[in-house]
């Protein structure tokens, strides 16, 4: 009886959010597979950067950071961790996720309901959008912007109007998975940090199901143990399509990692 009731609640939640999920209830009960994370190389990272968004474009890292009075958008040299260019934001702005689509860089803000739009080449601001709720992570599938706001939903938005065109509920065998955060779209899947957790999850966006997850606890304990005491959580996923490399880091971490997921 409890199982049937839980499934009913899950299906009701999907319907309420206008999700286009096509998963069967059998698949909804499948526990995510274990995804291994192997460190390939370690790079320096600015420990003053409260990482919110991380992108790899044209041999350069792009990073957005949060915290009021410390938020910035920067181009970063991978090998040195040094900034090549930066935009600082006023103290009322708390920077969040970023993504690059159609020659534009989009950046969310946490609670000021603004998405800023920049010309990717010049990093000149060319527009902005308003939206309801909080802004957390953002990525794109080549057609739509995909963002989250701390709940269990992925919101697909038109890049020209920022209007929501589709909502997908992210879930695992325990039901909807809240606090999905920084996002990266790779080969038909979305990789996401989970806020206040050491996991990176791999999401099938066609259904919303978390198909696998990687526990980064050992990586943290081995390479950046000081972050545990300071509660500086993992956040930041970027992907180099040309060389098929993932990069991950965390808030105020002194290191950035090239990793492989398998």
Residue 234: CATH number of its domain: 2.120.10.30
Could you report the per-residue pLDDT of 66-122, keeping only the tens digit for each? 999 999 999 999 999 999 999 999 999 999 999 999 999 999 999 999 999 999 999
Neighbours of 226 (CB within 10 A): 13
Domain with 214 in it: 2-261
- Average pLDDT rounded to a whole number, residues 160-179: 95
Please write the tens of the pLDDT for every residue from 183-216: 999 999 999 999 988 999 999 999 999 999 999 9
Overall domain count for the chain: 1
- Tokens in use for 155? 């919101």
C-alpha span between 117 and 124 (Å, rounded): 8
Beta strand spans in 89-220 (E): 95-101, 104-109, 114-119, 125-130, 138-140, 145-147, 153-157, 164-169, 171-172, 175-176, 180-186, 189-194, 199-204, 209-215
pTM: 0.88
pLDDT at 1: 31
Q: Residue 190 CA to chain centroid, in angstroms?
A: 9
- Measure the CA–CA gap between 123 and 136, rounded to whole angstroms: 21
């Amino acid at each position: 009886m409890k199982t049937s009731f839980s499934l009913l609640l899950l299906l009701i939640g999907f319907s309420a959010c206008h999700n286009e999920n096509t998963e069967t209830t059998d698949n909804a009960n499948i526990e995510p597979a274990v995804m291994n994370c192997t460190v390939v190389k370690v790079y320096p990272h600015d420990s003053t950067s409260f990482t919110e968004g991380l992108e790899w474009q044209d041999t350069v890292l792009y990073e957005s950071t949060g915290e009021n009075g410390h938020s910035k958008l920067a181009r970063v040299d991978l090998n040195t961790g040094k900034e090549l260019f930066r935009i600082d934001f006023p103290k009322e702005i708390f920077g969040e996720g970023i993504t690059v689509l159609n020659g534009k860089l989009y950046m969310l803000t946490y609670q000021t309901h603004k998405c800023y739009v920049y010309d990717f080449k010049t990093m000149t601001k060319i527009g902005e959008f308003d939206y309801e709720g909080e802004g957390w992570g953002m990525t794109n599938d080549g057609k739509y912007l995909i963002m989250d706001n701390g709940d269990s939903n992925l919101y697909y938005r038109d890049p020209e109007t920022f209007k929501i065109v589709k909502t997908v509920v992210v879930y695992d065998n325990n039901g909807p998975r809240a606090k999905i955060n920084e996002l990266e779209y790779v080969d038909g899947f979305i990789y996401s940090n989970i806020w206040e957790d050491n996991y990176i999850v791999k999401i099938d966006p066609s259904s919303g199901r978390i198909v696998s997850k990687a526990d980064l606890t050992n990586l943290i304990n081995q390479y950046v143990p000081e972050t545990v005491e300071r509660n500086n959580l993992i956040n930041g996923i970027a992907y180099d399509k040309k060389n098929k490399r993932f990069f991950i880091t965390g808030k105020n971490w002194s290191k950035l990692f090239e990793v492989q997921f398998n």
